[in-house]
Amino acid sequence: MDHFSLVDGAMHCEGVPLSVIAEAVGTPVYVYSTATLKRHARVFREGLAGAGDIHLAYAIKANPNLAVLRVMADAGYGADVVSGGELARALAAGIPASDVVFSGVGKTVAELTTALEAGLGQFNLELEEEGVVLAGLAAARGLVANATLRVNPDVDAGTHAKISTGKRENKFGVPIDQAPAIFGRLAGLPGLALRGVAIHIGSQLSDLAPLEAAYRRVGELVAHLRGLGFPIERVDLGGGLGVPYREGDVLPSPAEYGAMVARATKDWGVRLMFEPGRVIAGNAGVLLTKVIWVKPGAINPYVIVDAAMNDLARPAMYDAWHDFRAVHPTGDRMIANIAGPVCESGDTFAMGRDIDAVKSGDLAIFRTAGAYGATMASTYNSRALVPEVLVDGDRFAVVADRILPETILAAERIPEWLTPGD
Ligand SMILES: Cc1ncc(COP(=O)(O)O)c(C=O)c1O
Ligand SMILES: N[C@@H](CCCC[NH3+])C(=O)O
């Protein structure tokens, strides 16, 4: 069941008409469905039922809103974080530090130290030196850091180049063939318990074949490392499962993914860890916007909406498609371009698209905006930072305020040497 649907001709999120949210909070605004988040959390877990001992760590980067994190914590998910800021959010949402995995290619000494002292569950090391530094920090505090080594399997994930992470030229992980030697050098260090390997080959993956190929390489590595005497207890298989952005897109389901995982990992005898982000949050959110003008264009009219690339960066960054729907569709259609008010031609959500006919003042949504939406927002062009609303049944709450340009301006100052003297 879709929790964003038309009821009596009006688009709702669960039991709440989107027009009521627009009236109360203004636009643009992100709207998330609790029921969808919960359903995705459950379906992903159920899909992996045949994969043995698993640990689920929601990839906070996809949607780090505190209320969303609380929903995920209640659903029994730990967290995958990539910065001290994300770690602070996970802890603030009530996720125990022991259920948090710290990924990321540039963890600073300060971040490593904070995470260690918080009792972090697992560090996914990206390079040998990070392991040496972490071991030193831990040993100096009488602690032992649990870690895995992230390997780069050199697999083409078949996704957008900017979100592919498992090819040898990408910055992530150590080349898989160097892993045994690095294990050899890190394994005996006091302060470090190197318990396994981690992998993540990219995001918005629409085909399981590259994932399966990568997992097979990891399987060979696990066997090799065991043969060398290293006790491998954990393998973190990362995130990456794609979601349908366009009507008609067919993506592997969590159940199909789970069946592949069970097949590829059946002899490993390890605890498997997963870091899903987009597949949890993507279709749980929309960006609600209002049409400012319908501007005649040389080729097609431009529907100018009050949301822009600073609110939803994905189309400008990755040429991503987000379905556009009227909140009160009339049944009429139009061929139009859709753009925001920002002063860049790249601030365009669609060109020449067949959409619900809209006019000035109408409300509309960009769908599948719950992941990598609000979290990638900026205040470019001195626009407000977009707010977020969480719906649960027939109630809703503002879970992130609109940060107004005045508030941002108040954090800036003119140094005294630039102020006019007397
Ligand atoms: C290490 C790591 N884990 C998990 C994720 C989450 O990916 P996705 O949102 O595609 O599930 C990412 C982002 O690609 C990542 O870099
Ligand atoms: N920001 C990207 C996903 C990045 C994944 C991070 N590892 C997107 O919107 O598709």
pLDDT digits (tens, 9 = 90+) for 135-180: 999 999 999 999 999 999 998 888 888 888 888 989 999 999 999 9
Distance 374 CA to ligand 1 centre (A): 16
pLDDT digits (tens, 9 = 90+) for 300-346: 999 999 999 999 999 999 999 999 999 999 999 999 999 999 999 99
Residue 158's pLDDT is what?
87
Residue 164's pLDDT is what?
85
- The residue whose two tokens read 């491998």 is 232
What does pLDDT average to over the chain?
97
Q: Is the pLDDT of residue 44 over 80?
A: yes
Asked whether residue 340 is marked as a ligand-binding residue, the answer is no
Tokens representing 47?
């899909």
Residue 242's pLDDT is what?
97
The residue among 183, 247, 193 whose CA lies nearest residue 221 is 183
Which one of 200, 314, 317 would you pick to mutate in the ligand 1 pocket, going by the greatest count of ligand atoms within 8 A of its CB?
200
Residue 317's pLDDT is what?
97
Superfamily (CATH H level) for 104-274: Alanine racemase (3.20.20.10)
Q: How would residue 422 be classed by pLDDT, with cut points 50, 70 and 90?
A: low
pLDDT digits (tens, 9 = 90+) for 101-148: 999 999 999 999 999 999 999 999 999 999 999 999 999 999 999 999
- The residue whose two tokens read 């969303």 is 68
- The residue whose two tokens read 């993506």 is 251
Distances in Å between the alpha carbon of 313 and those of 48, 50, 125, 206, 389?
32, 37, 29, 21, 19
Asked whether residue 158 is marked as a ligand-binding residue, the answer is no
Residues 6 or more apart whose Cβ sits within 8 Å of residue 417: none
Q: Is 319 helix (H, G, I), strand (E, B) or coil?
A: coil
Mean pLDDT of 206-217: 95
What residues does each domain of the chain span?
4-31+282-410, 104-274
Q: Is the pLDDT of residue 188 over 70?
A: yes
Q: What H or E segment, with its residue span, contains residue 210?
A: helix 208-227
What CATH architecture is 4-31+282-410? Beta Barrel (2.40)
Mean pLDDT of 210-226: 97
Mean pLDDT of 393-407: 98
What is the DSSP secondary-structure string of 83-136? Answer: SHHHHHHHHHTT--GGGEEE--TT--HHHHHHHHHHT-SEEEESSHHHHHHHHH
Distance 332 CA to ligand 1 centre (A): 39
Residue 1's pLDDT is what?
53
Distance 376 CA to ligand 2 centre (A): 9
Q: Is the pLDDT of residue 357 over 70?
A: yes
